[in-house]
Amino acid sequence: MTAKFDDALKQCEAGMTTPELDPLRAKIQFSRKFDDAPPFQYASLDAFPSAADRPLIAKWATIRDGCIQRENAIDIIPADATPLDVTRIKQERAFGQEAEAKVGELILALYQQKLTFGEFAQRRYVIGKAAVDASRQYREARLLQDQERQLQAQHVANQQFANTVSAWATYMQAVNARQPQTVTLTTVSTGTHCTSVRSGNTVSTNCN
Protein backbone atom coordinates (compact mmCIF):
# COMPACT_ATOMS: atom_id res chain seq x y z
CA MET A 1 0.00 0.00 0.00
CA THR A 2 2.84 2.40 0.87
CA ALA A 3 4.45 1.75 -2.53
CA LYS A 4 1.19 2.57 -4.29
CA PHE A 5 0.87 5.82 -2.36
CA ASP A 6 4.47 6.71 -3.18
CA ASP A 7 3.82 6.08 -6.88
CA ALA A 8 0.67 8.19 -6.80
CA LEU A 9 2.54 10.96 -4.98
CA LYS A 10 5.34 10.95 -7.54
CA GLN A 11 2.85 11.17 -10.41
CA CYS A 12 1.13 14.07 -8.69
CA GLU A 13 4.37 15.92 -7.98
CA ALA A 14 5.47 15.46 -11.59
CA GLY A 15 2.24 16.99 -12.83
CA MET A 16 2.49 19.94 -10.44
CA THR A 17 6.03 20.80 -11.51
CA THR A 18 5.03 21.56 -15.09
CA PRO A 19 6.52 24.96 -16.05
CA GLU A 20 3.13 25.98 -17.41
CA LEU A 21 1.95 26.54 -13.83
CA ASP A 22 4.92 28.69 -12.80
CA PRO A 23 2.99 32.00 -12.95
CA LEU A 24 0.62 30.66 -10.26
CA ARG A 25 3.26 29.49 -7.78
CA ALA A 26 3.47 32.86 -6.07
CA LYS A 27 -0.33 32.96 -5.74
CA ILE A 28 -1.38 29.40 -4.87
CA GLN A 29 0.43 27.00 -2.54
CA PHE A 30 0.36 23.75 -4.50
CA SER A 31 2.16 21.49 -2.01
CA ARG A 32 0.92 21.62 1.58
CA LYS A 33 -0.49 19.55 4.40
CA PHE A 34 -4.19 19.85 5.17
CA ASP A 35 -3.61 21.59 8.50
CA ASP A 36 -0.69 23.83 7.47
CA ALA A 37 -1.68 27.45 7.99
CA PRO A 38 -1.07 29.40 4.77
CA PRO A 39 2.05 31.58 4.79
CA PHE A 40 1.44 35.33 4.83
CA GLN A 41 2.41 35.53 1.16
CA TYR A 42 -0.67 33.52 0.20
CA ALA A 43 -3.14 34.45 2.94
CA SER A 44 -2.68 38.18 2.37
CA LEU A 45 -2.86 38.19 -1.43
CA ASP A 46 -5.82 40.50 -1.95
CA ALA A 47 -6.08 40.04 -5.72
CA PHE A 48 -8.51 38.29 -8.01
CA PRO A 49 -7.32 35.89 -10.72
CA SER A 50 -6.50 37.68 -13.94
CA ALA A 51 -7.64 36.54 -17.36
CA ALA A 52 -4.23 34.91 -17.80
CA ASP A 53 -4.52 33.11 -14.43
CA ARG A 54 -7.85 31.44 -15.18
CA PRO A 55 -6.68 28.79 -17.70
CA LEU A 56 -3.76 27.99 -15.39
CA ILE A 57 -6.17 27.48 -12.47
CA ALA A 58 -8.18 25.14 -14.71
CA LYS A 59 -4.98 23.24 -15.60
CA TRP A 60 -4.02 22.91 -11.94
CA ALA A 61 -7.55 21.77 -11.02
CA THR A 62 -7.39 19.04 -13.67
CA ILE A 63 -4.03 17.79 -12.40
CA ARG A 64 -5.32 17.90 -8.82
CA ASP A 65 -8.43 15.91 -9.78
CA GLY A 66 -6.21 13.21 -11.26
CA CYS A 67 -4.15 13.06 -8.08
CA ILE A 68 -7.25 12.63 -5.94
CA GLN A 69 -8.70 9.94 -8.22
CA ARG A 70 -5.49 7.90 -8.06
CA GLU A 71 -5.30 8.19 -4.29
CA ASN A 72 -8.96 7.24 -3.82
CA ALA A 73 -8.45 4.14 -6.00
CA ILE A 74 -5.85 2.74 -3.59
CA ASP A 75 -7.17 0.13 -1.17
CA ILE A 76 -6.03 1.31 2.26
CA ILE A 77 -7.60 -1.49 4.33
CA PRO A 78 -4.92 -3.88 5.70
CA ALA A 79 -5.62 -7.59 5.25
CA ASP A 80 -5.61 -8.16 9.02
CA ALA A 81 -7.92 -5.24 9.86
CA THR A 82 -10.71 -5.90 12.33
CA PRO A 83 -14.25 -4.68 11.60
CA LEU A 84 -13.65 -1.76 13.97
CA ASP A 85 -10.40 -0.95 12.18
CA VAL A 86 -12.20 -0.96 8.84
CA THR A 87 -14.84 1.45 10.16
CA ARG A 88 -12.21 3.79 11.59
CA ILE A 89 -10.03 3.80 8.46
CA LYS A 90 -12.99 4.41 6.16
CA GLN A 91 -14.26 7.25 8.32
CA GLU A 92 -10.87 8.94 8.52
CA ARG A 93 -10.56 8.73 4.74
CA ALA A 94 -14.07 10.14 4.39
CA PHE A 95 -13.09 13.25 6.34
CA GLY A 96 -10.23 13.87 3.91
CA GLN A 97 -12.33 13.18 0.84
CA GLU A 98 -15.00 15.59 2.03
CA ALA A 99 -12.41 18.29 2.60
CA GLU A 100 -10.91 17.72 -0.85
CA ALA A 101 -14.37 18.09 -2.39
CA LYS A 102 -14.88 21.38 -0.55
CA VAL A 103 -11.53 22.67 -1.78
CA GLY A 104 -12.72 21.77 -5.27
CA GLU A 105 -15.67 24.10 -4.74
CA LEU A 106 -13.25 26.84 -3.71
CA ILE A 107 -11.12 26.31 -6.81
CA LEU A 108 -14.18 26.69 -9.03
CA ALA A 109 -15.14 29.92 -7.25
CA LEU A 110 -11.56 31.16 -7.61
CA TYR A 111 -11.65 30.35 -11.34
CA GLN A 112 -14.91 32.30 -11.58
CA GLN A 113 -13.17 35.27 -9.91
CA LYS A 114 -15.55 35.18 -6.95
CA LEU A 115 -12.64 34.79 -4.49
CA THR A 116 -9.35 36.55 -4.06
CA PHE A 117 -6.28 34.33 -3.75
CA GLY A 118 -6.05 35.31 -0.07
CA GLU A 119 -9.58 34.23 0.79
CA PHE A 120 -9.01 31.01 -1.12
CA ALA A 121 -5.90 30.23 0.96
CA GLN A 122 -7.65 31.02 4.24
CA ARG A 123 -10.78 28.99 3.55
CA ARG A 124 -8.78 26.08 2.18
CA TYR A 125 -6.97 25.97 5.51
CA VAL A 126 -10.20 26.09 7.52
CA ILE A 127 -11.78 23.02 5.90
CA GLY A 128 -8.49 21.11 5.80
CA LYS A 129 -7.80 21.67 9.48
CA ALA A 130 -11.35 20.62 10.35
CA ALA A 131 -10.80 17.31 8.53
CA VAL A 132 -7.44 16.71 10.23
CA ASP A 133 -8.88 17.52 13.65
CA ALA A 134 -11.80 15.15 13.10
CA SER A 135 -9.48 12.34 11.97
CA ARG A 136 -7.21 12.87 14.96
CA GLN A 137 -10.15 12.82 17.41
CA TYR A 138 -11.50 9.70 15.74
CA ARG A 139 -8.11 7.99 16.00
CA GLU A 140 -7.65 9.02 19.64
CA ALA A 141 -11.10 7.70 20.50
CA ARG A 142 -10.00 4.27 19.28
CA LEU A 143 -7.39 4.22 22.06
CA LEU A 144 -9.99 4.50 24.80
CA GLN A 145 -10.51 1.23 26.68
CA ASP A 146 -14.21 1.68 27.29
CA GLN A 147 -16.21 0.99 24.10
CA GLU A 148 -19.05 3.29 25.11
CA ARG A 149 -16.61 6.17 25.57
CA GLN A 150 -15.06 5.31 22.21
CA LEU A 151 -18.40 5.62 20.48
CA GLN A 152 -19.21 8.87 22.28
CA ALA A 153 -15.86 10.42 21.33
CA GLN A 154 -16.28 9.31 17.70
CA HIS A 155 -19.79 10.76 17.65
CA VAL A 156 -18.42 14.10 18.88
CA ALA A 157 -15.78 14.08 16.14
CA ASN A 158 -18.41 13.29 13.50
CA GLN A 159 -20.76 15.97 14.80
CA GLN A 160 -18.11 18.68 14.93
CA PHE A 161 -17.10 17.98 11.35
CA ALA A 162 -20.75 17.86 10.28
CA ASN A 163 -21.22 21.31 11.83
CA THR A 164 -18.26 22.60 9.84
CA VAL A 165 -19.69 21.14 6.64
CA SER A 166 -23.07 22.73 7.37
CA ALA A 167 -21.47 26.15 7.92
CA TRP A 168 -19.44 25.61 4.76
CA ALA A 169 -22.61 25.09 2.71
CA THR A 170 -23.92 28.46 3.92
CA TYR A 171 -20.60 30.13 3.13
CA MET A 172 -20.43 28.67 -0.38
CA GLN A 173 -24.00 29.70 -1.08
CA ALA A 174 -22.96 33.28 -0.35
CA VAL A 175 -19.81 32.94 -2.46
CA ASN A 176 -21.72 31.57 -5.44
CA ALA A 177 -24.13 34.51 -5.25
CA ARG A 178 -21.30 37.04 -5.60
CA GLN A 179 -20.61 39.01 -8.73
CA PRO A 180 -17.15 38.25 -10.17
CA GLN A 181 -14.33 40.46 -8.88
CA THR A 182 -16.41 41.86 -6.01
CA VAL A 183 -15.95 39.86 -2.84
CA THR A 184 -16.47 40.06 0.91
CA LEU A 185 -13.44 38.74 2.75
CA THR A 186 -13.30 37.38 6.27
CA THR A 187 -9.83 37.23 7.77
CA VAL A 188 -10.06 33.90 9.58
CA SER A 189 -7.53 34.62 12.30
CA THR A 190 -9.06 37.93 13.42
CA GLY A 191 -12.66 37.90 12.24
CA THR A 192 -12.09 41.21 10.45
CA HIS A 193 -14.63 41.77 7.68
CA CYS A 194 -13.32 43.33 4.49
CA THR A 195 -14.86 44.26 1.18
CA SER A 196 -12.61 44.16 -1.89
CA VAL A 197 -13.62 45.62 -5.22
CA ARG A 198 -11.57 45.41 -8.40
CA SER A 199 -11.37 48.30 -10.83
CA GLY A 200 -9.20 47.48 -13.83
CA ASN A 201 -5.96 46.08 -12.46
CA THR A 202 -6.45 47.59 -9.00
CA VAL A 203 -8.14 46.03 -5.99
CA SER A 204 -9.29 48.35 -3.20
CA THR A 205 -10.14 46.91 0.23
CA ASN A 206 -12.06 48.42 3.14
CA CYS A 207 -12.12 46.64 6.50
CA ASN A 208 -14.14 47.09 9.66
Give the total number of structural domains in the chain. Answer: 1
Residue 144 has pLDDT above 90, yes or no: no
What mean pLDDT comes out for the span 80-96?
A: 86
Asked if the structure places residue 96 within a domain, the reply is yes
pTM, full prediction: 0.82
Asked if the structure places residue 185 within a domain, the reply is no
Residue 202 has pLDDT above 50, yes or no: no
Residue 151 has pLDDT above 70, yes or no: yes
Residues 153 and 141: beta-carbon distance below 8 Å: yes
Mean pLDDT for all residues in the chain: 85
Quickly count: other Cβ atoms within 10 Å of residue 206's Cβ.
9
Asked if the structure places residue 190 within a domain, the reply is no
Pairwise CA distance, residues 91 & 14, whole Å: 29
Domain that holds residue 169: 2-179
Confidence of residue 194 (pLDDT cuts 50, 70, 90): very low
Q: pLDDT over 90 for what percent of the chain?
A: 53
pLDDT at 193: 46
Asked if the structure places residue 31 within a domain, the reply is yes
Asked if the structure places residue 196 within a domain, the reply is no
Residues 165 and 98: beta-carbon distance below 8 Å: yes
Per-range mean pLDDT, top range of 58-62, 64-68, 75-79, 149-153: 58-62
Least confident of 13-17, 113-117, 144-148, 197-201: 197-201
Asked if the structure places residue 43 within a domain, the reply is yes
Confidence of residue 7 (pLDDT cuts 50, 70, 90): confident
pLDDT at 88: 82
Pairwise CA distance, residues 205 & 174, whole Å: 19
Asked if the structure places residue 192 within a domain, the reply is no
Asked if the structure places residue 200 within a domain, the reply is no
